Chains A and B, each alone.
Chain A
Amino acid sequence: MRESTIKEAFVGSRQDESEIWRLLLQCGAESTADVASRPTPPDATVVDFALDERAPLNDEEYWTTLATFRNVFDDRSPTHIFVREIGACNEPFNYFLERIATSGKRVPSERLYSFAKELDNLGFAPLDLWLAPRFQDASVRIFSLLFGRLGLWASKISPKDELRRFLPTLLPTEVFESSADEQKATRAWREGTDDERVAVLAQLRRRDPARARELLSEDWKNLKKPGVKENCLKELLVGLSESDLEFLEGLEKKTRDPFTLVILRDLLARIPTSKRAQTTFERAEAFLKNPDALNALGTTEEERARFNYESPDGRSLRAAFLALGRVPLARWEEVLAASPKEIRARLLDAQELPTFSAAQLRSFALFGASDEWFEVCCESFADVFREEPYEKRYRTWSLLYLTNPLVHHAVERFLFAALKTGRVDYFQRLRAIWNEKERVFGTRLSFEYRLLQKAIQYAPYPWSEEQARLFCDMLLEQIASPERKIPQDAKAIFAPGGSPSDEELDRRRRLFAYVLAYAPRAVREERRDFLAKGIDAFTPDEGLVKLCLDACAWRERFDRLFGSPENEVRSSI
């Protein structure tokens, strides 16, 4: 439309009726002509997106690449099952991504859907990554690897903040790799969310520990949300050295929060030249040499109540427990000049045996120890949970170990080494001790679910039949129990946070199907038959049966294509 026509109609300069009508008709005619002769100016930005840098795999290569999953099956535990659940994604998943990357090609885009479904069947997340916007942010690397630059775009569009915390685990390579990114990292630290800050700190700490420390000290006062300070401090564990000493000691003086203090002192105890390390060792040595010294610390009710706080003078039962726990078990052996079993025998008569036992567990979880200590720690575990008053006191700490990312590798070695082939009975024993003490059914269930998650995650793969059966049974109990076992009034105290929601149940169902898919063939067939018939009083719902049958059918198809791993020599971690 001509500018003059628009101006004339816009201002309303014509007054004569016929003139006005002519102007309107002119507008109509010019507008139609405009639309009809619409120019489509070429867009310059299109040139920037010339794709694709990698060629797609052909059919044969595609199937061969898919076969790389066999390595995941054979060598590693199916940890990736938990990607969607707890964000834990470690070696196997990255390994698989690397395999695709090193092939120098990408998955053909037309196979995107079917490939994503295959991955989904394996417990990997890309179907979610593709379909659910909430996963898109975490998928930058995965998409660029699987689907080339096109995938990279897709993954970058409309990201959500909620999964930002998965980035450090999903993307182990540094995002801010060079010093050129320094400014970017500083900006991200200053303007990012708390989780982003932790991620930035983790990356910086690996590359430039001093800079990370500097950033943290600058902003220490502004980290006010609960847990943020702790999470930041935990990142300092990487590359901890004497240069951090001054900074940590300065913080220790300023900090009043007991939870932050515990982590700070844990870190300080790891620096041998620190004053804290020296006093800790001296105090622990004194208690180890004279176990009865502990008796004086926790005699009255008031003192027992004070257990939750570490007294400034260090003369409390809790301080003693922490001091002992901060000393590696190897040092215990040096001080007492005895083997683990002898140490255990010596401490058996001590009045405060559970305190020593709990300290042993804590030390084992923090620093790890030899296999010989494992036997002793199993017995210590029983000690801690045998005595009612002690059990209440130390349970919080035991649970803390299980959920604390700082120590989970050590915990899995302690608790789940029992799950090695032939040691299922040991695990059952620990489980029995726990079950005996934990009378609230819901709490027991939720604890067991956590145990189970860790067990599936860290147990060496392939699982033995015994292990697979244990996992299946424990999971079925999880699925069946809310309807079957819990009386109505007990649901009110179903902790934590009431009875498992439908979503939680669904998650357990799905996990069960995955476990079935990864279980040895004999167990798979056995459990499948059970499911079809119904087990005891528990009649599985059709959804679960369908899910499991699908998983089994898929596994059989996979085995037909690539051969069954059970025919080959088992590898171990």
Chain B
Amino acid sequence: MAVFSCEQIKALAPDAASFASACRVAKRTKTLISFGRSSRAVWGEYSCRYSRRSNSRVQIDLTTCECSCFCSDYKFPCKHILALMLLESEAKISESVEPDWVVNWLNEQAERKSLKAQKDAEREAKRNAKAQKIVDSTEVAKRKSASKRTADKRAKQVAEGFDELKIFLSDLIRGGVVNLERSWNTRKMFEERSKRLIDAKAPGVAALVEQCGDRLWDGEDWRERLLGRLGRLALLVEAYSKIDDAPEDLASEIRQTIGWKIPQKDVLASGERIEDRWFHLGATRIVGKRFQTTSSWMIGERTGRLAHALNFESERQISLDALNAPSVPLEGALRFYPGVVKLRALWEQASPPIPRPSHITPTPKFALTIPEFFANVAERLGRNPWLERFPALLRGVVVRPRVVQSWRRSFCEDYVLYDAQGNFMRIEAKDAVDKEVFWLFVAASADRAIEVFGEWDDNENKLKLLSGWDCGRALIVDGNPA
């Protein structure tokens, strides 16, 4: 059963505004009229001005963490769900009998789940039956040729898309990038090219092309940045044209960059296996249109190997891992995706919980200084020039605001971290949440050298801070005080 804490709820909120609204809803007895809880679920009724019903309803299944709310908010979890969680976390909801609508909803959920399990079982049975049929060599050959045909078809589509991309890039350079500045529909041009690449089954490249049109004129060095991006795209096109001659790992890396997906079973069967005691370094959660992605970073105690695990969940489900994570490092084996950088990994056992480092330290010997980190970035870029985000486990850094004085007050001009030699990295502070995390780090760092972990964004040249440690003690974990 899920037990929510305020920090977890804050982390689950899609943005700071939603959390603030939820706090208000939780306080306003006028809005949230009644609520109750049982061992299976928490529910509530609230008055809604725009609803046809007199009261709208919100409910959370405590066993699966599935939620439902009648509001039309496009954000998930909505403020009503968060408010209900807040009330639950503050133990303001007393035990009561489940009303009919909650019982019906829970039954529907259970039915849907059993139906899905049944369908899965049927599908598995069919597959097994088919596998038993394929005994003769002709059938095997037929299947192999079919899969080869599919692969060839995709390769052809990608090649066609790349040919067009090559012409597009050449045209841009022939006319000169200066023309982009004069054109009124530059962004649209990149978007259309990106859509064409999605049709050509190259979603990874499509994203890179779309990025080119994104915030195009920002900063004084926009020409350099744009040319760099276009150049890297050209490198990718060139690399793909010679993929047959490339070593297996590099070929796999290029394919993954373009957008080929490697089935999990292949990774589990043949991926590099590393057994270690894995420490959680930090995690971020991105809520997309259809699903949410939890991206967590780990480090092996013995090997010092960094690993990146991605976890996809449906949009309407709250991550159980994030809620029920134990506070100990995990002993186990990871399988790494093939490639030259080898960061992305899978747990050998199905969905182990994410460890949280409230009592642990990443072994300091693996933490790097700022110059060492950039050397590491250079080495990785040498192997894969299309990498954009790098895990940064840094030691001996101080998080500080860079302050500008005026006659009336001081302004925080920039958010940075420094080391003793004065090397610095700028910190990402796009929104209020980022800024709050930054101030937490400032408070925790308190002008002492600490160890931090974050994601370095090569495009923005900024570090997204996630966790911090001091003398073996966790200070901040995933942007929340430990």
| Binary contact readout A87-126 vs B (1 if CB under 8 angstroms, 0 otherwise) | 0000000000000000000000110110000000000000
Contact A184–B231 (Cβ < 8 Å):
no
Q: Mask for B160-196, Cβ within 8 A of A = 1, else 0? A: 0000001001100111111100000000000000000
Would A184 and B407 count as touching, CB distance under 8 A? Answer: yes
| B447, CB-defined interface residue at 8 Å | yes
Cross-chain contact B29 with A1 (CB below 8 angstroms): no
Residue B366, interface by CB 8 Å: no
Given contacts A12-B178, A46-B418, contact A109 B443 (CB under 8 A): yes
Given A12-B179, A159-B409: A42 in contact with B421 (beta carbons within 8 A)? yes
**Total A residues in contact with B, Cβ cutoff 8 Å:** 62
Closest residue of chain B to A16, judged by CB? Answer: B174
- On chain B, the number of residues with a Cβ less than 8 Å from chain A's Cβ atoms is 68
The answer to whether the Cβ of B403 comes within 8 Å of any Cβ in the partner chain is yes
Q: Is A51 an interface residue (CB 8 A)?
A: yes
CB distance from A352 to the nearest CB of B (A): 49
Task: Say yes or no: is B352 at the interface (Cβ < 8 Å to chain A).
Answer: no
A150 touches B227 (CB 8 A): no
B231 engages A112 (CB within 8 Å): no
CB neighbours of A51 from chain B (8 A): 447
Q: In the complex, what's the smallest C-beta–C-beta distance from A501 to chain B, in angstroms?
A: 9
Question: Which residue from A1, A12, A26, A158 sits with its C-beta under 8 Å from B174?
Answer: A12
Partner of A156, one of B169, B223, B224, B403: B403
Contact across chains for A157 and B411 when beta carbons are under 8 A apart:
yes
Within the complex, the shortest CB–CB distance from A521 to chain B, in Å, comes to 26
CB of A51 to closest CB in B, whole Å:
4
Residue of A nearest to B425 (CB): A40
Give every chain B residue within 8 A of A26 (Cβ-Cβ). 231
CB-defined contacts of B228 to chain A, threshold 8 Å = 1, 27-28, 30-32, 34-35
User: Does B439 sit within 8 A of A, measured CB to CB?
Assistant: yes
Which of B9-17, B88-96, B98-106, B274-282 is the contact stretch? B88-96
B112 within 8 A of A: no
Residue of A nearest to B233 (CB): A28
Provided the pairs A30-B231, A156-B409 are in contact, do residues A113 and B173 lie with their beta carbons within 8 angstroms?
no
CA A541 to CA B35, docked complex, whole Å: 13
B91 — nearest CB in chain A belongs to which residue?
A546
Let me know if A24 is at the binding interface, CB within 8 A.
Answer: yes
* Contact of B178 with A52 in the complex, beta carbons under 8 Å: no
B444 touches A109 (CB 8 A): yes
Known contacts A12-B174, A21-B234, A502-B27; is-contact A32 B470 (Cβ 8 Å) = no
B422 interface residue per 8 A CB criterion:
yes
Partner of B230, one of A24, A47, A156, A187: A24
> Is B472's CB within 8 Å of the partner chain A?
no
Q: Given contacts A21-B166, A46-B422, A156-B410, is CB(A31)–CB(B227) below 8 Å?
A: yes
Complex contacts, B423 vs chain A, CB 8 Å: 40, 42-43
A409 to B258, CA, bound (A): 76
Q: How far, in angstroms, from A15 to B174 measured CA to CA in the complex?
A: 6
B385 within 8 A of A: yes
A543 contacts chain B at the CB level, 8 A cutoff: yes
Of B249-257, B307-315, B375-383, the one with at least 4 CB within 8 A of chain A: B375-383
**Judging by beta carbons under 8 Å apart, are B234 and A24 in contact?**
yes
Q: How far is the CA of A34 from the CA of B225 in the complex (A)?
A: 11
Taking the complex as formed, is B143 at the interface, i.e. its CB lies under 8 A from any CB of chain A?
A: no
* A38 at the binding interface (Cβ < 8 Å): yes
Residues of A within 8 A of B382 (CB): 36
CA distance A247 to B423 in the complex (A): 60
In the bound complex, CA of A503 to CA of B24 (Å) = 10
Closest to B170 in A: A20
Q: Identify the closest chain A residue to B422 (Cβ).
A: A42
CA distance A38 to B425 in the complex (A): 11
A158-B413 Cα distance, complex, nearest whole Å: 10
Interface 1/0 per residue, A423-466 and B, CB below 8 Å? 00000000000000000000000000000000000000000000
Which residue, A12, A32, A150, A188, has most C-beta atoms of chain B within 10 A? Answer: A32
**How far is A34 from B403 in the complex, measured between Cα atoms in Å?**
29
- Contact (Cβ within 8 A) B227 A1: yes
Q: Residues of B contacting A399 with CB < 8 Å?
A: none
Report the minimum CB–CB distance from A323 to chain B (whole Å). Answer: 44
* Given A12-B179, A35-B381, A542-B92 contact (CB < 8 Å): yes
- Shortest Cβ gap from B30 to chain A (Å): 7
Cβ-based interface call for B401 (8 A) = yes
Cβ of A20: which chain B residues have Cβ within 8 Å of it? 170, 173-174
Name the B residues within 8 Å of A23 (CB-CB).
173
Q: Mark B288-305, 1 if CB is under 8 A from A, else 0.
A: 000000000000000000
CB of B475 within 8 Å of the partner chain = yes
A14/B29 in contact, CB under 8 A: no
Q: Which of B351-405 contact A (CB under 8 A)?
A: 370-371, 374, 377-379, 381-382, 385, 400-403
Residue-wise, chain A 43-63 has the 8 Å CB interface mask toward B (1 for contact) of: 111110101100000000000
Judging by beta carbons under 8 Å apart, are B170 and A153 in contact? Answer: no
Binds B, one of A3-11, A382-390, A511-519: A3-11
Q: How far is the CA of A188 from the CA of B406 in the complex (A)?
A: 12
Residue of A nearest to B459 (CB): A35
Residues of chain A contacted by B265 (CB below 8 angstroms): none
12 CB < 8 A contacts A-B = A20-B174, A24-B169, A28-B385, A32-B381, A34-B228, A44-B422, A109-B443, A109-B446, A150-B443, A187-B407, A546-B90, A546-B91
List of 5 A-B pairs having minimum Cβ-Cβ separation, nearest first? A12-B176, A28-B231, A31-B228, A27-B231, A109-B446
Apart from A46-B400, A109-B443, A150-B446, list 11 A-B contacts with CB within 8 A: A13-B176, A20-B173, A38-B374, A46-B422, A46-B424, A110-B446, A110-B470, A112-B443, A150-B442, A150-B443, A546-B92
